[in-house]
Amino acid sequence: MHSRRDFLQKLTASAITLPFLPKATSLDEFYSKPYDGPVLRVAIMGLGGYGTRVAEAMQSSKMAKLVGVISGTPSKIKDWQSKYKIPEKNCYNYENFDQIKNNADIDAVYVITPNALHHDQVIRVAKAGKHVICEKPMAINAKEGQEMVDACKKANVKLLVGYRMHFEPHTLEIVRMRKAGELGKITFFQGLSGFKIGDPSQWRMNKQLAGGGSMMDIGIYAINGSRYMVGEEPIWVTAQETKTDPQKFKEGVDETITFQLGFPGGAVASCLSSYNINNLDRFFLTGDNGFAELFPATGYGPIKGRTHKGELNQPIVTHQTVQMDEMAAIILQGKQPIVPVDGEEGLKDLKIIDAIYAAVKSGKKENLKL
C-alpha cells in the first residue's frame, strides 16, 4: 500500500544554514544558543499522518510551540495530550473549536485536514481571531480560496500556506542563482510529480473530500515549482488527462495529467502529475547560460541537486521544523520570505489548477490572469 506520505516518508536530519531566522546566520548558531524571543503558540487541527509529522518536527522548533489540538477523534486527543503535554483547556473538537477565540494561550491554528474541509475551517479560525496556517492545496478551487483570503483580511489575521519547499536550502540556492542571472535568460522548466497510490478508499481518492485527484495532491508541487523556479507568473496553460484505470480513479479523480505553461518572458514549462507512475519527483530548469536540477525535488528528504557548476551541497533540513520557525518569524516579526507563503500565493496555484481542469475539458489553451 502506497500513499503520498509513503512517497515522502524520509524525515531528514538537522540543517546548517537558513536565510531568515532572526539574529542568526545558521541553524547551528540559532539552535545552540538560548532563545528568549517571541514564540508562536500553535494548535494543530487534524491529527493524521502529516499532522503527526509536523508535531514531531515542531519539537525541535524554537520559535513555534505545539500547545493545542483539534480533532474529531477523542482517542487521538488523549494520546497527543499525553505525548506532548497539552492541557485539557487547549483541546477541541470540530464542533466547538470556535471557542479558541476565548483562549489567549493559542496564537495560530495549523489546518491539516482533507482539502474540501479547509475553506470552512480556515474561515472559522479567522473569525475566532487566530492566525491560520493551511496545508496545500489551500482549497479545492479559486472561489473558495478567495473567500478564505478575504475572511482572514477582514479578521486582521495572517493566512499562510504549508509550502515547506519555500524554505528548503537546495531550492533557495537555485532561486538565488536564477535571480543573480547565473542561468541566463530562463527558457524551460520541467516538473514531474507522481507516484502509484494505494488504498482506493482513502480520502485522497474521494472527489468530495479531495476536490480532484493527483493534481490536487502532488501536481501542485510542479505548479508551484514552475512559478518560483522560472520567477514569473504563467499567462496560459494547456492540459491533457490520461486515465488507464477508471474503476480505481472515479469520475472527477484524475489519475495522470500532463500540462504546459507559458510565461511572459518566453519560457515554457512541461509538467506531469500522476497517481499511477512511480519515480517521479524531479525539477529541471534551464536558461541560456546554465541549468539546475533537483531529484528528488519535493520529498521530505534528502533533497539532492546539481547545476552546470556541479553538485549542490546545501544542508539537509527537517522541512517542517524550518517551516514552522520561519512562519513564526513571518507572523510574529513580519519577516518577508524569499518565496511567498501567504494566502495570495495559494490562491494563484488554485487559479492555475482551475484552468488546468478547464483545459482538460476544453482541449484548448486557457489564458491565466493571476
Q: pLDDT tens digits for 78-103?
A: 999 999 999 999 999 999 999 999 99
Q: Residue 24 pLDDT more than 50?
A: no
pLDDT band at 22 (very low <50, low <70, confident <90, very high): low
Q: What is the mean pLDDT of residues 114-133?
A: 98
Where does CATH 3.30.360.10 sit in the chain?
165-315+343-367
Q: Residue 25 pLDDT more than 70?
A: no
User: Grid coordinates standing for 215?
Assistant: 493534481
CATH code of domain 4-164: 3.40.50.720
pTM for the whole thing?
A: 0.93
Q: pLDDT tens digits for 225-263?
A: 999 999 999 999 999 999 999 999 999 999 999 999 999
Percent of the chain with pLDDT strictly greater than 90: 90
How far is the C-alpha of 211 from the C-alpha of 170, rounded, in Å?
Answer: 31
Place of cell 489564458: 367
Task: Please report the pLDDT score of residue 203 as a whole number.
Answer: 96
Q: Residue 124 pLDDT more than 50?
A: yes
Q: Residue 342 pLDDT more than 80?
A: yes
Q: pLDDT tens digits for 157-188?
A: 999 999 999 999 999 999 999 999 999 999 99
Task: Please report the pLDDT score of residue 33 as a whole number.
Answer: 78
CATH code of domain 165-315+343-367: 3.30.360.10
Task: Please report the pLDDT score of residue 23 as a whole number.
Answer: 46
Where does CATH 3.40.50.720 sit in the chain?
4-164
pLDDT band at 15 (very low <50, low <70, confident <90, very high): very low
Task: Please report the pLDDT score of residue 34 as a whole number.
Answer: 80
> Please, what is the average pLDDT of the chain?
93
HSE on the CB side for 69, CA within 13 Å?
A: 26
| CB-CB contact of 219 with 226 (8 Å) | no
Q: Which letter, b or e, does each residue of 226-254 get, where b requires 16 or more Cβ atoms within 10 Å of its Cβ?
A: bbbbbbbbbebbbbebebeeeeebeeebb
How far is the C-alpha of 260 from the C-alpha of 271, rounded, in Å?
Answer: 6
Comparing CA positions, the residue from 323, 49, 51, 61 lying closest to residue 202 is 49
- Annotated catalytic residues are 136, 221
Q: Which helix (H) or strand (E) holds 28?
A: helix 27-32
Helix 319-333, helix 49-58: angle, nearest 10? 70
pLDDT band at 21 (very low <50, low <70, confident <90, very high): low
